[in-house]
Amino acid sequence: MDLSNSSPVITDPVAISQPLLGGLPSNLMQFSVMPGGYSGSGLNASVSRLKIEEVLVSGLLDAMKSSSPRRRLNLAFGQDNSSDEDPAYSAWMAKCPSALASFKQIVASAQGKKIAVFLDYDGTLSPIVDDPDKAVMSPVMRAAVRNVAKYFPTAIVSGRSRNKVFEFVKLKELYYAGSHGMDIMASSANYENNSEKSKQANLFQPAREFLPMIDEVTKSLLQVVSGIEGATVENNKFCVSVHYRNVAEKVKTVPFGLYFFLFSQALGKWTSENVASCLQDWKLVAGLVNEVLEAFPRLKVTNGRMVLEVRPVIDWDKGKAVEFLLKSLGLNDSENVIPIYIGDDRTDEDAFKVLRQRNCGYGILVSQVPKETQAFYSLRDPSEVMEFLNFLVRWKKHSM
């Protein structure tokens, strides 16, 4: 299948006028931020730039806090098991039931139809760990995914770069969409020894023109967060992650050098009070990322699991990637194809939403805490994801 002539969905002019707002709570979405200044329907035009910066930083900070619940870990899968006794979790489960407990209903609706499986990577196939480079997939999980792919078309849809997620998963028989769906290899045959030309023909990269900009912003982000202990930057090809999992939420003692660095950076823009209030590390990360993005109006920031994700403002996300893959793999017949998408992150909500809107298939959210979601079902952690995948394979074998 030659994808080279597919028209890439590029710049969305409406979205372009709203950089930096992706991760903000909805009450802040009324404000639009323009490259050369600020305007907003809900804001008095005379309000100072400084005030709005404070709003942006604290909005991003709130999003960072709310998306980062700290929970106990269990040894097997790096997840906690405390939700059993939590009444709020039980109430949420009534709305978003376990996909394991509901397995019979799920497969009953798939009788005589084709199931397609879409899997997020981090937090879904591998446990969340402190070091993103160590988020390996266990051999048993790999075997489960390999088996699923024997019976159902299976794709990985990840925020990681496509190459990096392939290095973790290592299964040539799957389809891969990296960079939150902005880098799609729609033919599994391309992980074999095929020519560069045929690989290119099967690639779909709607944000290709942003590559130089992503490299540039990566350099700036690396520079600004280098003074913050624990903060790291990961270039995911068409997007960049700024990790704050290992950053203290609040600074306990402030090294004079850091204070001086901040003050000199902010001189002329922020007052010493603002600098002092920024001496909370998470707030500092949010503030510095926002600062950097001022020079990149065609990039926006969204918030994942203790990560700020900087990406092009284009009308493309994991949901669009799922639609694209269904179409290009000949699975677009919503009467006869049941897509199942399993993911744990806010970016996976775009895919859950698409399945809801198509009124076909199921989103399954992996979560140990109640979350607002467009998913139909839930699983608690990667160990349950593996169990669900094994159930699917067993059911398919028996029904053949």
Ligand X SMILES: O=P(O)(O)OC[C@H]1O[C@H](O[C@H]2O[C@H](CO)[C@@H](O)[C@H](O)[C@H]2O)[C@H](O)[C@@H](O)[C@@H]1O
User: Mind giving me the DSSP string for 4-31?
Assistant: TTSPP--B-HHHHT-TT-TTS-GGGTTE
Residue nearer to ligand X on the CB measure, 185 or 275: 185
Residue 308, strand partner residues:
242, 303
| Residue 363 binding ligand X, by CB under 6 A | no
Of 305, 353, 358, 371, the residue at the interface with ligand X (CB under 6 A) is 305
Of 53, 183, 234, 381, the residue at the interface with ligand X (CB under 6 A) is 234
Of 53, 183, 317, 345, the residue at the interface with ligand X (CB under 6 A) is 345
- Distance, CA of 320 to CA of 314 (rounded, Å): 11
Q: How far is the CB of 280 from ligand X (least distance, A)?
A: 19
| Residue 222 binding ligand X, by CB under 6 A | no
| Residue 371 binding ligand X, by CB under 6 A | no
Of 208, 245, 371, 396, the residue at the interface with ligand X (CB under 6 A) is 245
Q: How far is the CB of 84 from ligand X (least distance, A)?
A: 23
- Distance, CA of 90 to CA of 211 (rounded, Å): 44
* HSE of 66, CA atoms in CB hemisphere, 13 A: 15
* HSE of 70, CA atoms in CB hemisphere, 13 A: 7
Residue nearer to ligand X on the CB measure, 162 or 283: 162
Size of residue set near ligand X by CB under 6 A: 24
Residue 175, strand partner residues:
155
Residue recorded with tokens 């995911």: 236
| Residue 237 binding ligand X, by CB under 6 A | no
User: Mind giving me the DSSP string for 245-307?
Assistant: TTS-SS-SS--HHHHHHHHHHHTTTS-HHHHHHT-SHHHHHHHHHHHHHTT-TTEEEEE-SSE
| Residue 22 binding ligand X, by CB under 6 A | no
| Residue 129 binding ligand X, by CB under 6 A | yes
Residue nearer to ligand X on the CB measure, 238 or 362: 238
- Distance, CA of 281 to CA of 276 (rounded, Å): 11
Instruction: Enumerate binding residues for ligand X (CB under 6 A).
Output: 120-123, 128-130, 132, 135, 158-160, 234, 236, 241, 243, 245, 304-307, 309, 345, 347
